[in-house]
């Protein structure tokens, strides 16, 4: 085995069913006396569950904000911080200066709500507890993407990492079937890409393979029966591992292509990852034979070929694979290729203009990757 060094950056994690009940205890562990709760308008039901839970505890719910939305617009973050200050729970200056604060930000939802929690936490210094309800993985990363004036910027800072993550499998029961599948493939992409990351360590590699197995076995079962309890558990466990991969090694061509397509053409997040993954893997495959062999072993039904395994998995899920179905236009293929080439980054196979254009064309058309 090659020599390796690795330092994990991870939050405290509570995983299981019914773990939401641990929230008062976990908030108190962080010294939290006042809670500020976040959700999207679509998940206020789950937010109110938390409110009721905390009502019977020593933690005071100082305020709620239910306007979390995609791409973490700075205007929404500022509105949420104004609501936090108006609730009287915040001693923003003190917390930002490192003086322990008794206010804790609690986000319940997918990557959009967690993004808002991170944006508030990094600005105010308040501790952040995440309760993820999708498989996107943001809760395990020190990365924050934000939009202002139509431009998305991304930064990484250890202080962005949430302090505690409560994974409660019960909360994923309400995921719509299509989102469950695309969010699961979004997670899978973190593990696949970690396997060929420049800075992958043996530990992250082992987690990534475990994640691929867990998700590729559970997602088809969930496509048949979204209430399959064991499959729900395996999928969220896989997503946790995928988030750890995303937060601890550098991503490359797959995530960059998704960033270009999603960010520049306003395409939906999980759906874009799902359409791109077979093509980004196929593009780098000739340069990563060892990784392809490991993936072939991990995907059920691969017959010794990772692409067969991945394509077979996608066929079992309720997903569309053509980005033209989400509004990506044929005339934007060249522009997307130019943007992808304009920001150089490491990839096991360097980006070649014509080959990348063809990859993007196939993703637009939804043609199978080989």
Cβ count within 10 A of residue 332: 17
Nearer to ligand NAD, 141 or 252 (CB): 141
Residue in 27, 138, 216, 272 binding ligand NAD, rule: CB under 6 A: 138
Q: Does 258 bind ligand NAD (CB under 6 A)?
A: no
* Pick from 48, 21, 24, 22: nearest CA to 37: 48
Nearer to ligand NAD, 194 or 307 (CB): 194
* Pick from 36, 47, 48: nearest CA to 79: 36
Q: Does 70 bind ligand NAD (CB under 6 A)?
A: yes
Q: Are the C-beta atoms of 117 and 162 separated by less than 8 Å?
A: yes
CB of 35 to ligand NAD, least distance (A): 19
Helices (H), ranges, 170-201:
177-195
Q: Are the C-beta atoms of 341 and 351 separated by less than 8 Å?
A: yes
Provide CB contacts within 8 A for 289, sequence distance 6+. none
Q: Give the footprint of ligand NAD on residues 324-363 (CB under 6 A).
A: none
CB of 123 to ligand NAD, least distance (A): 16
Half-sphere exposure of 320 (CA within 13 A, CB side): 10
Q: Are the C-beta atoms of 117 and 104 separated by less than 8 Å?
A: no
Q: Does 175 bind ligand NAD (CB under 6 A)?
A: yes
Residue in 24, 63, 110, 220 binding ligand NAD, rule: CB under 6 A: 110
CB of 139 to ligand NAD, least distance (A): 8
Size of the site for ligand NAD (CB under 6 A): 29
Residue in 14, 33, 42, 348 binding ligand NAD, rule: CB under 6 A: 42
Q: Are the C-beta atoms of 295 and 278 separated by less than 8 Å?
A: no
Which residues bind to ligand NAD, rule: CB under 6 A? Answer: 40, 42-43, 70-71, 109-113, 115, 133-134, 136-138, 141, 143-145, 171-172, 174-175, 179, 183, 246, 269-270
């Amino acid at each position: 085995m090659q020599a390796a060094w690795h330092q994990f950056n991870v939050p405290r994690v509570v995983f299981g069913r019914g773990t939401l009940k641990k929230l008062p205890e976990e908030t108190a562990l962080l010294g939290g006396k006042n809670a500020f709760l976040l959700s999207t308008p679509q998940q206020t039901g789950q937010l109110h569950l938390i409110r009721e839970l905390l009502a019977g505890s020593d933690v005071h719910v100082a305020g709620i904000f239910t306007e979390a939305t995609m791409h973490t617009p700075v205007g929404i973050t500022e509105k949420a911080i104004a609501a936090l200050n108006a609730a009287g729970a915040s001693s923003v200056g003190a917390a930002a200066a490192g003086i322990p604060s008794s206010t804790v930000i609690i986000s319940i939802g997918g990557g959009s709500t967690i993004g808002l929690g991170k944006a508030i936490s990094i600005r105010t210094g308040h501790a952040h507890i995440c309760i993820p309800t999708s498989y996107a993985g943001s809760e395990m990363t020190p990365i924050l993407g934000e939009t202002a004036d139509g431009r998305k910027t991304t930064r990484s800072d250890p202080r962005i990492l949430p302090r505690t993550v409560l994974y409660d499998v019960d909360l994923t029961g309400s995921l719509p079937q299509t989102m469950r599948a695309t969010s699961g493939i979004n997670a899978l992409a973190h593990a696949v890409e970690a396997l060929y990351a420049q800075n992958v360590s043996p530990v992250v590699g082992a987690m990534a393979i475990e994640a691929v197995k867990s998700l590729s076995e559970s997602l088809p079962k969930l496509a048949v029966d979204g209430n399959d309890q064991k499959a729900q558990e395996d999928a969220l466990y896989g997503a946790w591992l995928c988030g750890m991969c995303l937060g601890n090694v550098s991503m490359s061509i797959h995530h960059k292509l998704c960033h270009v397509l999603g960010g520049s053409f306003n395409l939906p997040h999980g759906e874009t990852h799902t359409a791109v993954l077979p093509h980004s893997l196929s593009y780098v495959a000739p340069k990563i034979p060892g990784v392809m062999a490991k993936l072939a072993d991990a995907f059920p039904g691969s017959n010794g070929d990772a692409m067969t395994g991945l394509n077979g998995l996608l066929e079992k899920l309720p997903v569309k694979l053509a980005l033209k179905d989400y509004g990506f236009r044929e005339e934007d293929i060249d522009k997307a290729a130019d943007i992808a080439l304009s920001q150089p980054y490491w990839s096991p196979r360097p980006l070649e203009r014509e080959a990348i254009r063809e990859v993007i064309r196939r993703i637009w058309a939804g043609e199978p990757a080989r």
